[in-house]
Structure 1
Amino acid sequence: MHFTYLNPTNPATFKDRYVTKVAETIVPFSKERKGEVGLIGLPSSKSSISLSMAANAPSTIRKALNSFSTYAATQKHDFKNEGIVDFGDVPIHPTSVIETLDRLHISIQEMLQTDACDRYIMLGGDHGISFPSIHAFQKKYGTIGVIQWDAHHDVRNLEDGGRTNGTPFRSLLEEGIIKGEHLVQVGIRNYSNAQAYDQYAHDKGIHVYMMEDIEEHGILPIIDKELERLSNEVDFLYLSVDMDSVDQAHAPGCPAIGPGGFTSRELLSSIKKAAQHPKTKAMDIVEIDPSQDVRDMTSRLAAHVMMKFMYKV
């Protein structure tokens, strides 16, 4: 039977024949499918030291991609033919954080073994997902340089709570997966870290840029400087974007919101700069709690972060 207007199982959405939404370019992974960018959801937030529903962020960010078109007027280029290969979401263990981290690590390794894409985006989840993710990329591609947008060092001790969203970079350093001098932290804020962790970052040789450094020198010159340095020392680059690096006015949906962070424009311009480097291979986006967001502002900003990473001319 033919229905005039009834459209079972499909949403009643408007479609403009001339507009392609970013979400329309996402296709599920298959062995025959190749694409420019691979996408995987890592919906883990049980390791968060504050109450968080960041596990819901991958689906919310994907949904936000329905709000934006593939056409970039500045470049006079439509990216509608730039395919995004979606590997889906990794099922987390209902109770065990350690088992969840193992699942994330194995899943990213298996994704990379397909060689289906040139670059990859990991959607968290809390920042704890960066430990298994970066480890998997290091195994595949060699010496890794990391640029971390964050208000926090995320080098908390492992004795007080095990592996949490506050420990990923301490875990990576202690396991010898990355070197301190190959980790760059931008946007670290006052009153967001303990003195012991500031000292730990200094002792490990991490290149730390406080918000005061951003205010004095600007974010783009700092990114330029560190890209040039890292490119001579590492095999590839990984971007780790904690959305709480952004001022609470621009990203209200973070578990650890605070004033004095990046503007959305500063974040996007710096991501674009880092993503354009030929050695940049991967990016994760973490610490969005959709239940705390306002009109999906933070997820929409994350969608734009994805687009800055994906779309290069």
Structure 2
Amino acid sequence: MAAMRRPVSLIGAPTDIGASVRGAGMGPDALRVAGLLEALRASKLEVVDRGNLAGPPNPWQPPHNGTRHLPEVVAWNWAVYTAVDQALSDGHVPLLMGGDHSLALGSISAVARHCRASGRQLRVVWLDAHTDINTESISPSGNLHGMPVSCLLGHGPRDLVGWSGEPAAITPEQIDFVGIRSVDADEKQAIRQLGLQVFDMRHIDEHGMRTTMAEVLQDVHDDTHLHVSFDLDCLDPLDAPGVGTGVRGGPTYREMQLCMEMIADTGRLASLDVVEINPALDVRNRTAELAVDFVLSLFGASTLQR
């Protein structure tokens, strides 16, 4: 469990630049108001809050050549990339507080570059209602928070691929999706063509979260760098109303707690995104408070010592 005792760097990215609705830019401060820093410190972790990154405002323009706000998304992701890279170089666990899920491009690209330099095997667990593997040619909206995975796999807009130093930051074998229940028709075809490992809600319903996560984590080993990209819309909106693209039928609170606890049990968590919290749509900051609960579980909090 030594990997989980490293200092944690909180990195705020207050933007909804890639999203379909306004409000996710308030997510980092919602997590602070919910007591994320204090809760992590109460768990005996060393925590550094590096504040909020700066980037261009959201121009709220229509799509151009299949994407919305591409230059602004590039700028925000470079800021994220630089901050995550610095945290990893300092030996910290970077915890990106979004912001929308397009920011995972910069975060995971920096992690992938770090893993190659250090000889570690990167694994990404993508907790989301959506697979986010649209491209500019198939996206119905042009919103870039629906495209970060395709960019990481090397199939997105030219300005958003190759950031890790390789044509693709990750391979299809390095990412597992959990909680999926909303997939566009063209995305379904891409999933089949790429051979992606998707554990949708039917799989969880039929096999349970315990078996699902055992499958996801079965080949995690001592040299694995485990990155969790946690979109709060993975949860059912009855539990987490403060998200921009909520989809009914997500994991329950207890199912998600088990998911997080099993990830923590590996001792390999080394970087984390917490994104798509939208306080403008929330009820008394409930979604950010849930996020704090789940982050604590990821870092090893449990009812009993195990």
Please give the TM-score of this superposition, normalised by the length of structure 2. Answer: 0.80
User: 2 CA distance for matches of 1:220 and 1:272?
Assistant: 10
Q: How far has the Cα of 1:227 moved from its partner?
A: 0.9
Which of these two proteins has the greater Rg computed from alpha carbons?
A: 1
2:32 maps to 1:62? yes
Residue of 125, 129, 153 corresponding to 1:173: 153
1:242 aligns with 2:218: no
Could you say which residue in structure 1 is the equivalent of 2:9? 38
- Letter in structure 2 aligned against 1:309: L
CA distance in 2, matches of 1:250, 1:310: 21
Please state how far the C-alpha of 1:172 moved relative to its aligned partner: 0.3
Please tell me the residue identity of whatever aligns with 1:45: D
What pairs up with 1:194-273 in 2 under 5 angstroms? 194-231=184-221, 235-273=224-262
> How far, CA to CA, are the matches of 1:67 and 1:294 in structure 2?
21
Runs of at least 4 residues of structure 1 off by over 3 A? 66-70, 78-81, 159-163
Matches within 5 A, 1:268-307: 268-307=257-296
* Structure 1, gaps ≥5 residues long: 1-33, 71-77
Structure 1 residues 264 and 167: alpha-carbon distance in aligned structure 2, compared to 1, 3 A threshold:
same
- State the 1:162 CA deviation: 6.2
Kindly provide the amino acid, as one letter, of the partner of residue 42 in structure 1: A
Identify the residue that residue 174 of structure 2 maps to in structure 1: 182
Q: Would you say the 8 A contact 2:236–2:250 is kept in 1?
A: yes
Deviations 1:37-62 (A, max 9, x none): 221112221111x1121011111111
Residue among 85, 102, 113 paired with 1:128:
102
Change (3 A) 1:81 1:147: closer
Gaps of 5+ in 2: 59-71, 155-166
Q: Secondary structure at the match of 2:272?
A: strand
Task: Tell me, in whole angstroms, the C-alpha distance in 2 between the residues paired with 1:280 and 1:172.
Answer: 20
Q: Does the 8 A contact of 2:241 with 2:287 survive in 1?
A: yes
Letter in 2 for 1:51: V
Q: Give the whole-Å Cα distance in 2 for the aligned partners of 1:300 and 1:67.
A: 12
Distance 1:135 1:68, change over 3 A: closer
- RMSD between aligned residues: 2.3
Residue aligned with 2:17, SS: coil
2:89 corresponds, among 99, 103, 113, to: 113
Contact 2:239 2:287 (8 Å CA) reproduced: yes
| Corresponding position: 1:85 with 2:48 | yes
Note if 1:151 corresponds to 2:129.
yes
Check conservation: 2:28, 2:98, Cα contact below 8 A: yes
Q: CA deviation at 1:218?
A: 0.7
Q: Partner amino acid for 1:46?
A: I
Q: Which has the higher contact order (CA 8 A, sep 6+)?
A: 2
In structure 2, what is the Cα distance between the partners aligned to 1:186 and 1:299?
20
Q: Offset of 1:229 from its aligned partner?
A: 2.4
Superimposed CA distance per residue, residues 75-133 of structure 1 (whole angstroms, 9 cap, x where no aligned partner): xxx94532212111111222522212212112221222222x2x231111111011110
Matched-pair contact (CA < 8 Å) for 2:37–2:47: no
